[in-house]
Amino acid sequence: MDICLFFLVVGLIDWIVSHYDVENAPAWYLAGGLVMIIFNSFVPLFLMVASFMRDDYAEGLVKRSLRVMAYGAALIPPFLLIGPWVLGGIFVNTDLRAPDFYREFYNAFYLSEMRPELVLRRVWFLYMLSFVGIFQFLRWKDSR
């Protein structure tokens, strides 16, 4: 799980500062991306479902992590749906010009036509990364 957290951080840094497109990337960059995909998706999936590898503490930690993720999955979508409506109402009723970040979010969230395969892949990837992050945070919190 520690290696997954390391690759999670490396992947986030790469996502923020990446200079390469997939078509123009060197071979070493693509190989590193493949390793990151494995450690950010398939390894956490295996660790999540492989209960035979866990002791009692790790089993409890996995259950607590999944409970936190379930709360997040229940609470975050309403905020993402209701928040822009409230902000949009404020902008319309006060004649304020909506900031650029709001318009970009609105266009991406409400007007974009993403392929369902891409949405599913990103949600699964986010789920695995969230599991790793929450698991490691709870383990760190327990060690204090």
> Cα(65)–Cα(42) distance, rounded to whole angstroms?
17
> Each residue of 61-95: pLDDT tens digit?
999 999 999 999 999 989 888 888 888 888 877 87
- Whether the pLDDT of residue 21 is over 90: the answer is no
More confident residue, 22 or 38: 38
The verdict on pTM exceeding 0.85 is: no
- The domains of the chain are located at 1-143
